[in-house]
Chains A and B, each alone.
Chain A
Amino acid sequence: MTEPRPPFRAHLPHLRRAFAVWRRNTAVWHKLLVPSLLANFGEPLLYLLAFGYGFGALVHRVGGLPYITFLATGIACSSAMNAASFEALYSTYTRMEPQKTWEGIHATPLGIPDIVLGELLWAGTKGLINALAILLVALALGLVAPAGALWALPVLFLSGLCFAALALVATAFARGYDFFTYYFTLVLTPLLLVSGVFFPLASLPQPVRLGARLLPLTHVVSLVRPLLIGQSPPHPLTDLAVLTVYTLLAGAGALVLFVRRFER
């Protein structure tokens, strides 16, 4: 991604100021805790049970694991992606445009970079919360190893940040909600299907398999699935490096794009 250099200097965000935005969003989430958690647990749980037991009765073992375990470890990753993306698209846009929450915050010492970082951290947190919900269900069903689940948490938070940053780039361009449908259909759904969440990469054609290695969700799954079943990931440094690079590039891009959007 090459950004044309803006005619101004986007100042670096301050973590303390960004944290005020994170706390604002956390407080709103906390007010709506019960319906929010129901949604967090509800849908993935249904998928897990229906496909895990229904489909699992047909295929038994996938990638050396019982299918329901394979699926639970995959869904933990995809739910981090979905929740972070949804938050950074729809909810961030709502606060930015119709609700004018950003405008109110921008009258205070906070600058756009501070607000964007706050939104990024919050959407990443939201991804972690949703993944955690799946992990709790998987733990209760005895599908994953408790120690491994603990190790997976920081990785899932990083995944949340990564997908939040990518989604924020889209939000910075958005002029309405319709735009986000494209993002889900053209970006997130293909990612979900080729990154080893529902079936192993090995079953895909060679070119797709190679292409999938460039995609962030593949690396999340490659890290998180082994961790959750108590094994070491095969190439953790590569996976972490890819996710970090995606997060930093998309995060910086989003920052510049939002500053441009607001400075005019």
Chain B
Amino acid sequence: MDDNAAALLVTDLRKTYGGRTVVDGLSLRVARGTCVGLLGPNGAGKTTTLRLLLGHTRPDAGRIEVLGFSVPEAASQARARLGVVGQSDNLDPDFNVEENLYHYARYYGLDPRALRERFTDLLTFAGLEDRRDAPLRELSGGMRRRLALIRALVHDPVMLFLDEPTTGLDPQARFHLWQRFRQLRREGRTLLLTTHYMEEAERLCDRLVVLDHGRVVAEGSPQELVRRHVEPFVLELPAEAGRDLGLGEERHELRTLHLEETVFVYARARENLESLLSRCPETPARLRPSNLEDVFFALTGHALRD
């Protein structure tokens, strides 16, 4: 398959661990210069998929092509052109901020002594220019993530794998990183992002791929997914208020979803929900347009996955 416009091409990928199928016929295409988000509940196969894409584990079946290189056979060449920001913090605690960049460049076969200027640019990009010599223990969580990001950029990769890059950060630190991701995307790099934050997916990604049970269950732009998989409006109200409104009865224009102590009532027309609400005006309810979170629940259910 010759597809020059694709940065990533995955066909019918399968991986089984001790009889348990983790990736089950996954196919995926990421166009160059786009930002694609991989969504899915815990255990949906996101992490295994990323490990397969990096050539860290072998598929039982299927084809993977990353930047034109067959993986796992040519995984090393593919990784030479990829930047990876992992889920866990694996910065080198034996080194300070700049030394982390310095030694990482060597793994790409670069001479770090010739890269001083690039390191300065990267440190400025990450807002770490004043922390050059700081030991890692003095960095905040957000700074560490930014350092992990620029460490993945020392070799000027054309594509980035970002595995839950903002998990555990405060809103400011997250916003700061989003700006950096957008800039990298504007520079023409391809981004593959996994995240649990729908807001992050909605803001950053051109396309989203929803995984569940190792398969793609939906894909498209955030707007498309909302349009295709859920009704445009939703009323959120406490479960007991729902019973008072007689939601148990069959009403063809409404779809209800029970999630713990909350009922979500979906409708094509806002008026349907307004008329429902008017029958019981003091109910503490929230009427809003549907979003990706609703899509996520609609596609992957709402049982706890851990």
B86 near A103: Cβ-Cβ < 8 Å: yes
With a CB–CB cut-off of 8 A, which chain B residues contact A263? 56-58
Chain B: minimal CB distance from A193 (Å): 35
Question: Of the candidates B77, B84, B95, B152, which one forms a contact with A28 in the assembled complex, judged by CB atoms under 8 Å apart?
Answer: B95
Known: A99-B93, A264-B17. Is A107-B54 also a contact (CB below 8 A)?
Answer: yes
With a CB–CB cut-off of 8 A, which chain B residues contact A104? 86, 90-92, 104, 151
B107 near A20: Cβ-Cβ < 8 Å: yes
Tell me, in angstroms, the Cα distance from A28 to B135 when the chains sit together. 13
Question: Of the candidates A17, A28, A103, A108, which one forms a contact with B104 in the assembled complex, judged by CB atoms under 8 Å apart?
Answer: A108
**Chain A residue at minimal CB-CB distance from B94:** A28
Bitwise interface map of A from 92 to 113 toward B, beta carbon under 8 Å scored 1, else 0: 0000000111011111111100
Check A24 for interface membership: any CB of B closer than 8 A: yes
B57 near A264: Cβ-Cβ < 8 Å: yes
**Chain B residue at minimal CB-CB distance from A107:** B84
Known: A23-B106, A108-B79, A109-B76. Is A31-B94 also a contact (CB below 8 A)?
Answer: yes
A100 near B88: Cβ-Cβ < 8 Å: yes
Check B103 for interface membership: any CB of A closer than 8 A: yes
Bitwise interface map of A from 17 to 55 toward B, beta carbon under 8 Å scored 1, else 0: 100110110011001000000000000000000000000
Question: Of the candidates A17, A106, A109, A264, which one forms a contact with B77 in the assembled complex, judged by CB atoms under 8 Å apart?
Answer: A109
Q: Say which size band chain A's interface belongs to.
A: 20 to 34
Check A61 for interface membership: any CB of B closer than 8 A: no
Bitwise interface map of A from 39 to 75 toward B, beta carbon under 8 Å scored 1, else 0: 0000000000000000000000000000000000000
A101 near B58: Cβ-Cβ < 8 Å: no
**Chain B residue at minimal CB-CB distance from A262:** B56
Chain B: minimal CB distance from A259 (Å): 11
With a CB–CB cut-off of 8 A, which chain A residues contact B56? 106, 262-263
Chain B: minimal CB distance from A50 (Å): 34
With a CB–CB cut-off of 8 A, which chain A residues contact B90? 99-101, 103-104
B79 near A109: Cβ-Cβ < 8 Å: yes
The dominant DSSP class at the A interface is helix
With a CB–CB cut-off of 8 A, which chain A residues contact B109? 16-17, 20, 109
Check B133 for interface membership: any CB of A closer than 8 A: no
Instruction: List A residues 127-172 near B (Cβ within 8 Å).
Output: none
Check B80 for interface membership: any CB of A closer than 8 A: yes
Chain B: minimal CB distance from A12 (Å): 12
Tell me, in angstroms, the Cα distance from A161 to B92 when the chains sit together. 25
Question: Of the candidates B57, B86, B94, which one forms a contact with A107 in the assembled complex, judged by CB atoms under 8 Å apart?
Answer: B86
Check B89 for interface membership: any CB of A closer than 8 A: yes
Chain B: minimal CB distance from A32 (Å): 9
Bitwise interface map of B from 30 to 68 toward A, beta carbon under 8 Å scored 1, else 0: 000000000000000000000000101110000000000
With a CB–CB cut-off of 8 A, which chain A residues contact B95? 27-28
Chain B: minimal CB distance from A67 (Å): 41
Tell me, in angstroms, the Cα distance from A100 to B94 when the chains sit together. 12
A24 near B54: Cβ-Cβ < 8 Å: no
Tell me, in angstroms, the Cα distance from A31 to B93 when the chains sit together. 13
**Chain A residue at minimal CB-CB distance from B57:** A263
**Chain A residue at minimal CB-CB distance from B58:** A8
With a CB–CB cut-off of 8 A, which chain B residues contact A108? 79-80, 104, 107-108
Instruction: List A residues 74-128 near B (Cβ within 8 Å).
Output: 99-101, 103-111
A103 near B92: Cβ-Cβ < 8 Å: no
Tell me, in angstroms, the Cα distance from A103 to B88 when the chains sit together. 9
The 3 closest A-B pairs by CB, nearest first: A108-B107, A100-B90, A107-B84
Q: Given A105-B107, A263-B57, 5 other A-B contacts at CB below 8 A?
A: A20-B106, A24-B92, A28-B94, A104-B104, A109-B109
Task: Show the binding face of B for A, using Cβ within 8 Å.
Answer: 17, 54, 56-58, 75-77, 79-80, 82, 84, 86, 88-95, 99, 103-104, 106-109, 151-152
